[in-house]
C-alpha cells in the first residue's frame, strides 16, 4: 500500500486521482484466527493496530456489525483532554493524549488533531474550588492544566459571556492547552488502514450472534457470516457491551443510554477552543467545516434506539445561548444519538472476565473518544499477555466487588 | 420522548417523570451473611436488556409515586405500566432478528440491520 505524501498527492493530482488504491481490503472471514475483536470503532481498531504492531499478532480479525466508525466513533464530539482528578484516570487519559500527539504521523493519515485547548467553566464558588483542586491534582500527575479567572477566560475565548447578570455567571475556568479536537473518521480510517496493512482482517456487515466456549474457555464466535474459531475474543462494543457479555451469562455494572449531539449550520471561525460547562451541562467546539458541534447529557432511561429526547436538546440550547449570546440566531442543522455504556463510577472496564479468553473493554460512558489510542494500547497488551498492565490494572471488573472504585463522577468535571 | 401512562394519574409527558433504574430487584434480607460478590451483584450488576425490559419510574412532578414500566429498549415502545409490587405482565413486541441488531421500527439505523425472514 502506498505511503500518503505530498509527492503522492501531486502525482495523483496530475493523473486525475484515478490511481488511489483501496484503503483496506474487504476479506471474507477465515475459519480461524488467533484473536477476534468484536467492534470496529475507534477503540476496537486501535486494539487491532496495537496487537499487530506491538505484539506481533497479525492473524486477527475485527468484526463489525455495520460499517467501521459508524457507531459512537462517528457520533461523538471528538473532545480530547486528560484533566481528570484521580491518578488512575489521569494516567490512562494522559497516556492517550501523548499518543494522540504523534498519531497522525505514525498512521500516515491526517487525523486533523487540533490542540486548541479545553476550557471547563466554573459557575459558582464551590465549583471553582473543585476545579482548582483538580488543577493541582493534574499537575501532580504531569497533566498541564491551569486556572483562569473570568477576565482571563474572556481574553482566551472572546465570545464568551462573563456578565454577572447571567443565571449561572462564569467566574473562572480551567484550561488544558494541549486538549482539543480531532477528526473522528480520520482516526478510524487511519487505524483501519495500518492494521489492514499489517494483515488484520477487517470484516464489516458481520454481526456476532453467539460466543462459543468449552470448559470455561472461549473457542470461537458464531456470526451472521459463519462460525470462526478463536481462543481469544475481545469485546469492544460500547453500548452493546452488556448484550455481548450476556451471551456468556456475564453480568456487568453497565447501563446503556442515548447521548445526543447536534451541529449548527456552517459559519466562519468564531470559537477558537473547546468550552465545556458541567453546571449547565453543555459543551461546544467548532469543526473545520465551520459547524458548531454541541453536546449535552444522556437520557436517563436505558435505551438502544440511537435517538434522544427533545427536552435534552432544549436544555442544552438554552445553556449554550446563555454562555454564547452571539449564537442566539444560529440554526441547528443535524441532530443524532449514540448509545453510551455507563458504569456506576463513570470509569471504564478494561478487564479479563470469569470466562478464559474473553476480554472486555467498555463502560467508557460519555467520554470514550479521548481515550481511543490509550485504550487500544493497554487493551491490546491485556489481550496479548492475558494480564493487565499498570495503566489498565485499576479498571478491572473486580473493582465492583472489592469496592476499589475509580469514582470520577463530578470529579472529572464531567460533561465529558 | 415518551408519553407515559402513570397508573395513578393517566397520560403525562415524560418530563414529569424521573427514571429510577431496573425494576424487580429485591433488597436482600440476609445482608449480614452476604459475600462481597453478592453485594456487588445487588448494588451494581444490571440486566441492561436490549429488548423487553422492566424498569421503575417516579412521577416526580405529579403524584410522586413510584411505579413500573415494561418497555422494548430496542424500539422505545412502552408495553405496559403497573403498580410497584405487581408482577411483570406478559407482553408481545417486535424484537431485532439478531442480538445486537435493529427491530423493524428501531432507530432507523439500517446499516446494522439484519432482516428477519420475509421482512423487506
> Which residue positions in chain A have pLDDT lower than 70?
1, 410-416
So what's the pLDDT on residue A416?
43
Q: Which residues of A touch B (CB under 8 A)?
A: 65-67, 70, 207-210, 224, 237, 240, 242-244, 246-247, 251-256, 300-307, 309-311, 337, 344, 400-403
B70: cell is: 415494561
Q: How far apart are CA A247 and CA A38, in angstroms?
A: 13
Half-sphere exposure of residue A224, counting CA atoms within 13 Å on the CB side? 20
Per-residue pLDDT of chain B (120 residues; tens, 9 = 90+): 899 999 999 999 999 999 999 999 999 999 999 999 999 999 999 999 999 999 999 999 999 999 999 999 999 999 999 999 999 999 999 999 999 999 887 777 777 888 887 776
Picking from B14, B41, B44, the nearest residue to A344 by CB comes out as B44
Q: Which residues on A lie below 8 Å from B14 (Cβ)? A: 309, 311
Picking from B36, B40, B111, the nearest residue to A66 by CB comes out as B111
Q: How far apart are CA A142 and CA A400, in angstroms?
A: 28
Q: How many CB atoms lie within 10 A of CB A402?
A: 11
Picking from A65, A252, A254, the nearest residue to B112 by CB comes out as A65
Let me know: does A185 contact A74? Beta carbons within 8 Å.
Answer: yes
Check residue A18 and give left, alpha or beta (phi > 0: left; psi -120 to 50: alpha): alpha
- How close does chain B come to A359, measured CA to CA in Å? 17
Which chain A residue has the Cα nearest residue B16?
A: A311
Is B40 in Cβ contact with A253 (below 8 Å)? yes
- How close does chain A come to B103, measured CA to CA in Å? 10
Q: How far apart are CA A169 and CA A256, in angstroms?
A: 33
Picking from B2, B44, B98, the nearest residue to A209 by CB comes out as B98
pTM, entire model? 0.95
Half-sphere exposure of residue A31, counting CA atoms within 13 Å on the CB side? 0
ipTM associated with this complex: 0.94
So what's the pLDDT on residue A26?
96
Q: Which residues on B lie below 8 Å from A305 (Cβ)? A: 73-76, 106-107
Long-range pairs of B108-116 with CB within 8 A, sequence gap ≥ 24 = B109/A66, B109/A306, B111/A66, B111/A67, B111/A70, B112/A65, B112/A66, B112/A70, B112/A207, B114/A207, B114/A224
So what's the pLDDT on residue B93?
93
The three-point CA angle A126-A128-A130 to 5° equals 70
- How close does chain B come to A74, measured CA to CA in Å? 13
Q: How far apart are CA B64 and CA A166, in angstroms?
A: 32
Is A301 in Cβ contact with B101 (below 8 Å)? no
Amino acid at each position: 500500500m502506498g505511503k500518503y505524501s505530498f509527492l503522492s498527492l501531486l502525482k495523483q493530482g496530475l493523473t486525475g486521482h484515478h490511481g488511489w488504491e483501496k484503503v483496506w481490503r474487504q476479506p471474507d472471514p477465515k475459519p480461524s484466527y488467533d484473536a477476534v475483536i468484536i467492534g470496529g470503532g475507534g477503540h476496537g481498531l486501535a486494539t487491532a493496530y496495537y496487537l499487530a504492531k506491538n505484539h506481533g499478532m497479525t492473524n486477527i480479525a475485527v468484526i463489525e456489525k455495520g460499517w467501521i466508525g459508524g457507531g459512537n466513533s462517528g457520533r461523538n464530539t471528538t473532545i480530547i483532554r486528560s484533566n481528570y482528578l484521580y491518578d488512575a484516570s489521569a494516567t490512562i487519559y494522559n497516556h492517550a493524549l501523548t499518543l494522540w500527539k504523534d498519531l497522525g504521523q505514525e498512521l500516515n493519515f491526517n487525523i486533523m488533531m487540533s490542540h486548541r485547548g479545553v476550557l471547563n467553566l466554573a459557575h459558582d464558588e464551590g465549583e471553582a474550588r473543585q476545579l482548582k483542586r483538580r488543577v493541582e491534582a493534574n499537575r501532580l500527575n504531569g497533566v498541564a492544566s491551569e486556572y483562569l479567572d473570568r477576565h482571563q477566560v474572556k481574553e482566551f475565548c472572546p465570545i464568551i459571556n462573563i456578565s454577572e447578570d447571567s443565571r449561572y455567571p462564569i467566574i473562572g475556568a480551567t484550561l488544558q492547552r494541549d486538549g482539543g479536537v480531532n477528526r473522528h473518521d480520520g482516526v478510524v480510517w487511519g487505524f483501519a488502514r495500518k492494521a489492514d496493512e499489517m494483515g488484520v482482517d477487517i470484516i464489516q456487515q458481520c454481526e456476532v450472534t453467539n460466543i462459543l466456549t468449552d470448559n470455561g474457555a472461549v473457542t470461537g464466535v458464531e456470526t451472521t457470516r459463519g462460525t470462526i474459531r478463536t481462543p481469544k475474543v475481545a469485546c469492544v462494543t460500547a453500548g452493546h457491551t452488556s448484550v455481548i457479555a450476556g451471551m456468556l451469562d456475564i453480568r456487568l455494572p453497565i447501563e446503556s443510554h442515548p447521548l445526543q449531539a447536534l451541529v449548527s449550520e456552517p459559519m466562519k471561525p468564531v470559537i477558537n477552543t473547546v468550552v465545556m460547562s458541567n453546571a449547565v451541562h453543555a459543551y461546544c467546539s467548532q469543526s473545520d467545516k465551520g459547524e458548531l458541534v454541541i453536546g449535552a447529557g444522556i437520557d436517563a432511561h436505558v435505551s438502544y434506539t440511537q435517538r434522544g429526547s427533545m427536552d435534552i436538546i432544549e436544555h442544552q440550547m438554552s445553556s449554550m445561548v446563555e454562555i454564547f449570546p452571539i449564537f442566539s440566531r444560529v440554526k441547528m442543522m443535524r441532530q443524532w444519538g449514540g448509545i453510551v455504556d455507563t458504569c456506576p463510577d463513570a470509569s471504564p472496564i478494561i478487564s479479563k472476565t470469569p470466562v478464559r479468553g474473553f476480554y472486555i473493554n467498555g463502560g467508557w460512558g460519555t467520554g470514550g473518544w479521548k481515550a481511543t489510542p490509550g485504550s487500544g494500547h493497554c487493551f491490546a497488551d491485556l489481550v496479548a499477555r492475558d494480564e493487565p498492565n499498570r495503566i489498565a490494572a485499576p479498571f478491572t471488573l473486580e473493582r465492583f466487588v472489592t469496592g476499589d472504585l475509580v469514582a470520577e463522577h463530578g470529579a472529572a468535571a464531567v460533561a465529558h | 420522548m415518551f408519553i407515559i401512562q402513570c397508573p395513578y394519574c393517566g397520560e403525562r409527558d415524560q418530563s414529569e417523570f424521573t427514571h429510577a433504574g431496573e425494576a424487580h430487584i429485591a433488597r436482600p434480607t440476609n445482608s449480614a451473611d452476604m459475600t462481597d460478590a453478592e453485594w456487588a451483584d445487588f448494588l451494581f450488576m444490571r440486566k441492561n436488556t436490549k429488548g423487553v425490559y422492566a424498569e421503575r419510574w417516579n412521577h416526580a412532578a405529579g403524584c410522586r409515586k413510584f411505579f413500573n414500566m415494561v418497555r422494548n429498549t430496542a424500539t422505545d415502545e412502552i408495553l405496559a405500566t403497573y403498580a410497584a409490587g405487581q408482577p411483570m405482565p406478559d407482553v408481545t413486541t417486535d424484537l431485532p432478528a439478531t442480538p445486537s441488531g435493529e427491530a423493524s421500527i428501531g432507530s432507523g439505523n439500517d446499516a446494522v440491520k439484519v432482516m428477519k425472514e420475509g421482512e423487506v
